[in-house]
């Protein structure tokens, strides 16, 4: 009744098939809208679409992986009622896990690099997780946050280290949900020409790419990297792993190795791009100004990558990417003049967008 009484010129308020009742918090994970980015589509002559993963209850694409990892542990019988879920995470997987743990009655212990935003640490604690921010050292170092999480689980009875990087239940969650949703939302095979996104664990890129390559005729799948990640050069060099060097403002993405989640798909990528921070920060402000989208930096990087891929594929094509999370959990950095200056990014923000740097 409500939908029908709305005027026809406001189609976005007619919620249609997305209106649903769900069972508990976990039922609200997934089924996110696919948003057409109007200005960028117009500029490229393509259709550029962003999967609104920031609409998940934990606010990011990682809710899907978190639920997949917990269901996997339950199915394997390693997580029993009252048990403890332990993970190493840049934050978003932890936030997803903490939500699902509260909903299912598990304890949650999170190790994360102490370079991550205070907002994420605070939120995790508010969600009841025990949080250990630890020095950000390379994966090869035994003190890396992942190894510390694993050791904590080994010492804790009735606990599981969910191992988001190498447990393929992560990519499987995207194969089973994100991929099929995207294909249905574009209208089926033949209606999607490109998919591109950045990777942390690689779960999203790998799971979605595998599904699309199996079900969408002619689709190309591409990887997008931030500076300081090795995967773009790994793909371009046909499988040579270089030393990790450099850094990026984009939290939660960039990788120094081929994880188990990414491994089955990396050789099947049709191409890859590295997106400099200057372009990501400019896009972050453009998305806000032009589309009203308040996005985190990995989403902005993904959109730059989708824009570049659209130009590579040519006019009339449809390219999909992931809007991983919102800016809320990074805003004291991304909208702070002092922070932007400290990253030498002030000149990357065009004059007419400088008004958004309000902190
Ligand atoms: N964007 C953000 C903000 C993230 O936190 C993550 C995961 N760490 C990703 C993107 C990448 O997702 P995935 O782990 O599936 O590669």
User: Does 208 contact ligand 1 (Cβ within 6 A)?
Assistant: no
Dihedral sign computed on CA atoms, order 309, 311, 312, 318: positive
From 3.40.50.1100, 3.30.413.10, 3.40.350.10, 3.90.79.10, which CATH number describes the 26-56+179-338 domain?
Answer: 3.40.50.1100
Q: Is the CB–ligand 1 distance for residue 199 below 6 Å?
A: yes
> Nearest Cα to 98, choosing from 80, 76, 125, 133?
125
Rounded average pLDDT over 120-129: 95
Ligand 1 proximity of 90 Cβ (cutoff 6 Å) = yes
Task: Give me the phi and psi of 258, to 5 degrees please.
Answer: -95, 110
Residues in the chain: 359
Domain boundaries, the chain: 26-56+179-338, 61-165
Tens of pLDDT along 42-100? 999 999 999 999 999 999 999 999 999 999 999 999 999 999 999 999 889 999 999 99
The answer to whether the CB of 189 falls within 8 A of the CB of 216 is: yes
* Residue 268 a catalytic site member: no
Q: Which atom of ligand 1 is nearest to the CA of 171?
A: 15
228-285 confidence digits (pLDDT tens)? 999 999 999 999 999 888 999 999 999 999 999 999 999 999 999 999 999 999 999 9
Instruction: Decide: 168 in ligand 1 pocket, CB within 6 A.
Output: no
Q: Is the pLDDT of residue 4 over 50?
A: no
**Cα distance between residue 220 and residue 195, in whole Å:** 6
Provide the Cα torsion 161, 164, 167, 169; round to 10°: 110
- Answer whether residue 30 shows pLDDT above 70: yes
Query: For ligand 1, what atom is nearest to the CA of residue 297?
Result: 3
CATH architecture of 61-165: 3-Layer(aba) Sandwich (3.40)
Given 3-state DSSP classes, what are the helix, strand and coil percentages for the chain, each rounded to the nearest 5? 45, 15, 40
Tens of pLDDT along 304-329? 999 999 999 999 999 999 999 999 99
d(CA 93, CA 95): 5
| Predicted confidence (pLDDT) at residue 3 exceeds the cutoff of 80 | no
pLDDT at residue 12 above 80? no
Q: Is residue 94 in contact with ligand 1, taking CB distance under 6 Å? A: no
Query: What is the C-alpha to C-alpha distance for residues 102 and 34, in angstroms, rounded to an integer?
Result: 28
How many A from CA of 152 to the centre of ligand 1? Answer: 23
* Residue with CA at minimum distance from ligand 1 atom 6: 252
State the Cα–Cα distance between residues 322 and 326, nearest whole angstrom.
12
Are 26-56+179-338 and 61-165 in the same CATH fold?
yes
Ligand 1 atom 8, closest CA = 252
For residue 220, list its beta bridge partners.
194
Indicate whether residue 254 lines ligand 1 (CB < 6 A).
no
Task: Supply the mean pLDDT for the chain.
Answer: 94
For a ligand 1 pocket test, name from 51, 53, 60, 61 the mutation site with the most ligand atoms within 8 angstroms of its C-beta: 61
Q: Among the atoms of ligand 1, which is closest to the Cα of residue 62?
A: 7
pLDDT-derived band at 19, boundaries 50, 70, 90: low
Is 182:208 a contact under the CB 8 Å cutoff? yes
Query: d(Cα 112, Cα 11) in Å, to the nearest integer?
Result: 42
Which pLDDT value is given to residue 136? 92
Q: Check residue 44 and give its pLDDT.
A: 98
The answer for residues whose C-beta is within 8 angstroms of residue 208's C-beta and 6 or more apart is 174, 175, 178, 179, 182, 195, 197, 221, 322
- 162 within ligand 1 shell (Cβ under 6 A): no
Q: Is the CB of 325 under 6 A from ligand 1?
A: yes
Q: Does any ligand 1 atom lie closer than 6 A to the CB of residue 296?
A: yes
What radius of gyration do the chain's Cα atoms show? 20
Best mutation site among 54, 58, 62 for ligand 1 pocket (most ligand atoms within 8 Å of CB): 62
Query: Which residue puts its alpha carbon closest to atom 5 of ligand 1?
Result: 252
Torsion of CA 70, 74, 76, 78, to 10 degrees: 90
Ligand 1 atom with the smallest distance to the CA of 262 is 16
- The proportion of the chain whose per-residue pLDDT surpasses 70, expressed as a percent, equals 95
Per annotation, catalytic residue among 51, 62, 213, 317: 62
Q: What is the complex's ipTM, to 2 decimals?
A: 0.99
């Amino acid at each position: 009744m409500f939908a029908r009484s709305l005027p026809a010129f406001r189609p976005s308020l007619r919620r249609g098939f997305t209106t649903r009742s769900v069972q508990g918090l976990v039922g609200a994970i997934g089924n996110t809208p696919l948003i057409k980015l109007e200005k960028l589509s117009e500029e490229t002559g393509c259709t550029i679409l962003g999967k609104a993963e920031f609409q998940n209850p934990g606010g990011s694409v990682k809710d899907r992986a978190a639920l997949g990892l917990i269901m996997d542990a339950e199915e394997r019988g390693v997580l029993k009622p009252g048990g403890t879920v332990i993970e190493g995470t840049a934050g978003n997987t932890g936030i997803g896990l903490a939500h699902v743990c509260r909903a299912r009655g598990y304890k949650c212990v999170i190790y994360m690099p102490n370079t991550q935003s205070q907002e994420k640490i605070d939120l995790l604690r508010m969600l009841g997780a025990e949080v250990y921010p630890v020095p950000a050292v390379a994966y090869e170092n035994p003190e890396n946050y992942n190894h510390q999480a694993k050791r904590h689980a080994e010492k804790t009875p009735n606990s599981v280290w969910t191992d988001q990087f190498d447990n393929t239940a992560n990519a499987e969650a995207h194969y089973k949900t994100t991929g099929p949703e995207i294909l249905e939302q574009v209208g089926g095979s033949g209606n999607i020409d490109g998919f591109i996104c950045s990777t942390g664990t690689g779960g999203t890129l790998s799971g979605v790419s595998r599904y699309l390559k199996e079900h969408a005729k002619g689709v190309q799948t591409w990887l997008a990297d931030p500076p300081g990640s090795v995967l773009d050069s790994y793909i371009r060099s046909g499988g040579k792993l270089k030393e990790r060097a450099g850094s990026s403002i984009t939290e939660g993405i960039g990788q120094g190795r081929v994880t188990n989640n990414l491994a089955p798909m990396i050789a099947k990528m049709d191409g890859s791009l590295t997106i400099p921070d200057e372009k990501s920060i400019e896009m972050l402000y453009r998305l806000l100004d032009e589309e009203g989208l308040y996005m985190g930096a990995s989403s902005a990087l993904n959109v730059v990558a989708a824009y570049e891929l659209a130009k590579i594929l040519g006019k009339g094509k449809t390219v999909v990417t992931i809007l991983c999370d919102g800016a809320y959990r990074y805003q004291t950095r991304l909208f702070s003049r002092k922070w932007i200056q400290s990253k030498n990014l002030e000149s990357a923000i065009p004059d007419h967008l400088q008004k958004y740097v309000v902190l």
